[in-house]
Amino acid sequence: MNADHNTDRAKPVAEGALIDSNPPASNASESTSEKPLPLANCVRWMVISEKTVACFFLLVIVSTMATHVVARYVFGSPFQWSEEVARFALIWMTFISAAFVMAEGRHIAVDMISARVGNGGKLFIECMSYVVVAASCLLLLIGGANFVWYVGKVASPALGVPKSWWYGAGMTGLLLMAVHSLVNLFQAVVSGKPIPRETHVEEEAVRLEMEQSE
């Protein structure tokens, strides 16, 4: 009799535990109500493409320099074009990388003001930063177009590649950074809040050290 009575009392407790283990309905509705940012898929594919191109140029640098070292110290006859190819790939990798770093919000920034204001102030500062970056990139792009066209008549000594291909890396990087800035501005204005960024351990450690020093 006692055993049956105890088991009957345990059943509602177990059923209640199973019911309580489910997530609250409010949290589930909040997670499903989160909408992706506009043009998120376009930005994602742009970043993937830029990272792929940057990785290709990095592979060219490593393989070219490794081949140059082997040819120089093993066969005693280094290639005349290897250093120029590596330099060319390094320039393009730098400016392409600056584009997707801009898209991910990983450029060096000082957030002393935005960290001390509300969401409205953060949104205003972020939008202004995108406008300044986009305007600066477009001005440099327009101003440097004539120079790139002019140096196209000069070729590099080893490869014979026109200098416009070399300086064109900067123009391409400026154009991509301007596009990413405008897209980020559009996303921030449409969503009405700052774009969420990934928090990294190093950034949190530096911020904690600065707060402790204060």
Q: Which tens digits make up the pLDDT trace of 52-111? A: 999 999 999 999 999 988 888 888 777 888 888 999 999 999 999 999 998 888 888 777
3-state secondary structure (DSSP) of residue 26: helix
Task: Report the C-alpha gap between 32 and 113 in whole angstroms.
Answer: 32
* Mean pLDDT score, 31-44: 71
Task: Report the C-alpha gap between 50 and 138 in whole angstroms.
Answer: 19
pLDDT of residue 132: 93
pLDDT category of residue 21 using cuts at 50, 70 and 90? very low
Q: Which tens digits make up the pLDDT trace of 151-187? A: 878 888 877 788 888 899 999 999 999 999 999 999 8
Q: 23 forms bridges with which residues in the sheet?
A: none
Task: Report the C-alpha gap between 160 and 84 in whole angstroms.
Answer: 10
Full-model pTM? 0.71
DSSP for 114-140, written as a single string = GGGS-HHHHHHHHHHHHHHHHHHHHHH
The ranges assigned to domains in the chain are 37-213
